[in-house]
Amino acid sequence: MSDMLKRIKEMEEKRERMKQGGGQERIKAQHQRGKGTARERINTLVDEGTFIELNPFLKNNGAAETKHVTHGEGVVTGYAKIDGRQVFLFSQDFTVDGGALGEKHAFKIANVMDLAAENGAPIIGLNDSGGAKIQEGVLSLDGYGHIFYRNTKYSGVIPQISVIMGPCAGGAVYSPALTDFIFMVEKTSQMFITGPKVMESITGTTVDAESLGGAGIHAGVSGNAHFTASTEERVLTDVRRLLRFLPSDYKEKPPVQQTKQQGTVRLDKLLDIVPADSSKGYDIRSVLKCVLDEEEFMEVHAGFAKNMVIGFGRINGGTVGIVANNPKVMAGGLDIDSSDKCARFIRFCDSFHIPIITFEDVSGFIPGLQQEHQGIIRHGAKILYAYAEATVPKITVILRKAYGGAYVALNSKAIGADIVLAWPSAEIAVMGPAGAAPIIYGKEIEKSADSEETRRKKTEEYRDQFANPYIAAENGMVDDIIDPRDTRFHLVKTLEMLDCKDQVNFRKKHGNIPL
């Protein structure tokens, strides 16, 4: 055998050993937890046979030797294709030192992030790590800093997706928090700054990891997680689905898919979905699925701030971002959590040329002492800022209620909407008729022989005179009042008209969003 062939064989043996991660016992333990290995997860996520690994032989030569082969520094990095499109990714290997992050581990991640940005492709991180490699001391912390810097630097440049597939604790959680979307696996993933044991020793509070930072907590309470699923396979399938809605980077427009659904077909179902009585609730998703191609809607933050619904769909084949009040919950009113949820989604869509369609049925900003004290003014201002700053096509459809400051905040003409459409059932006013009538006609109601009947009549009088779409249309605040059945038709035509929209904000370093 020639010397070259011997060297090739040696290389192949080393590569094969590295694929074993921390060894068969640790791989078996990983499987017993219902978790895949770093490479198994990559193979599930990407198109078959497309993954090319980078820096596989990288090793921290200064670290003490262990019984396990630790080449690769506990993380697998590289590039691949998903649905034929280029992506870059890293997958932390929990079987190697618990996936702990050290200097070279961070170097590999930073390197693949740089390549993703330079080549205009999404970066996907599969996180499964016990935290910083303590034996490397401050070098581990410095490694986190390099990753955080790139998360921030490449924000709005390429889509950044984090998939939490095990523990993610301490400083490590801030990298996912800086990315665009976080996926979590139910009963397997956890994120927290301070673990249960440390929390108990410091505060005396006893809590398990799932209750502290599991998928359910972050999807429904903290709002840190955008998507969850019951298994790793389902989560990774959802990652693939999300990418189909997104462009590869900020220079591209989102991909267009063929649709069989015609834009000219009247949607008679819409007449029965939305109750005429504005005090009655309904699920806005029923409206969205009628309007969107193939009734497909990928909801974001489905378990958090349920009074607002956001997500991705397609109209006439093109990706759109949906922001919609859900009258089924809290009458669709805006509160602190829903304001944060909407504002960040709007800014993501604006970063990546995704038109924003707002379906409005809002009772107003939610009143209350707690909301006021916790900063509803500041949080509500985020929606105003996000809409006003966005330069992508922005369309609003007012279905029923559009009251007070919430009407202005939800993409009104005054803050930059390109087109505002209203159904005949729309009520656009400073406040609802039931609240306004007693204020305007209070003395007349009080003096009447039948105050309740007078109140009812004055409420209807206010509704007829003020709470309708025609006054707003007469003053240019509504572009057209449409038959609800023609909503999809008007959206298709409006998006076609706005396809070449070119609007640039003032040249400045950046604004100061009320964070």
What gap in Å lies between CA 104 and CA 110, rounded to an integer? 10
> Of 23, 156, 171, 216, which is the active-site residue?
171
pLDDT of amino acid 66? 45
Assign residue 219 the CATH number of its domain.
3.90.226.10
Strands 297-300 and 308-315: antiparallel
Q: Per DSSP, what are the bridge partners of residue 298? A: 312
pLDDT for the residue numbered 13: 84
Q: What is the pLDDT of residues 12-57, one digit of tens each?
A: 888 888 888 888 889 999 999 999 999 999 999 999 999 999 999 8
- 172 and 133 Cβ atoms separated by less than 8 Å: no
- What was the pLDDT predicted at 68? 44
- Say whether 406 is catalytic: yes
- Domain-embedded: residue 43: yes
- Are residues 294 and 148 located together in one domain of the fold? no
Per-residue pLDDT at 61: 67
Return the beta strands (E) in 316-445 as ranges. 318-325, 356-362, 394-403, 419-422, 427-429
| Per-residue model confidence (pLDDT) at position 308 | 98
Q: Which of 80, 116, 117, 406 is catalytic?
A: 406
Query: What are the backbone angles phi and psi of residue 401, rounded to the nearest 5°?
Result: -70, 140
User: What are 313's strand-pairing partners?
Assistant: 297, 320
Q: Are residues 440 and 490 in the same domain?
A: no
User: What pLDDT does residue 69 have?
Assistant: 47
38 and 138 fall within a common domain: yes
In this structure, the answer to whether residues 452 and 479 fall within a common structural domain is no
Residue 171 bears catalytic tag: yes
Burial letters 263-286, b for 16+ CB under 10 A, else e = beeebeebeebbeeebeebbebbe
Going from the C-alpha of 390 to that of each of 341, 350, 364, 383, the distances in angstroms are 16, 5, 22, 11
Pair 212, 299 in one domain: no
**Structural domain count, the chain:** 3
170, 213, 321, 380: the active-site residue: 170
The answer to whether 22 is a known catalytic residue is no
> Is residue 253, in this structure, part of any structural domain at all?
no
290 and 347 in one domain? Answer: yes
Structural domain including 197 reads 3-243
User: For residue 509, is it within any domain?
Assistant: no
Tens digits of residue pLDDT in 318-353: 999 999 999 999 999 999 999 999 999 999 999 999
Provide the whole-model pTM: 0.94
Q: What is the pLDDT of residue 204?
A: 83
Verify that 439 and 298 share a domain, yes or no. no
Backbone φ and ψ for 267, nearest 5 degrees, come out as -105, 80
Does residue 460 lie in a domain region? Answer: yes
Residues 68 and 33 in one domain: yes
Would you state the structure tokens that stand for residue 71, as one six-digit string? 């080449």
State residue 490's pLDDT score. Answer: 97
In Å, how far are 124, 128, 221, 224, 469 from 215, measured between CA atoms? 19, 14, 10, 9, 43
Would you call 227 helix, strand, or coil by DSSP?
Answer: strand
Question: Alpha-carbon distance 325 to 287, whole Å?
Answer: 11
Could you tell me where the DSSP H helices lie in 297-368? 336-351
CB of 205 closer than 8 Å to CB of 186: no
pLDDT at residue number 422: 98
pLDDT at 63: 52
For position 22, what pLDDT does the model report?
Answer: 84
Residue 82 within a domain = yes
Is 172 in the same domain as 192?
Answer: yes
Considering the domain architecture, whether residues 228 and 349 belong to the same structural domain is answered as no
Q: What is the mean pLDDT of each run of 10 residues along the chain (515 residues)?
A: 85 83 89 93 97 91 52 91 98 92 94 98 96 88 96 98 94 94 96 86 87 95 97 98 98 92 86 90 96 96 98 97 97 96 98 98 94 96 97 97 94 97 93 74 72 74 80 94 97 96 82 91
DSSP at 408 = H
**50 and 150 belong to one structural domain:** yes
The yes-or-no answer on residue 156 being catalytic is no
Of the residues 23, 281, 303, 405, only one is catalytic, namely 405
Is residue 126 domain-shared with residue 208, that is, in the same domain? yes
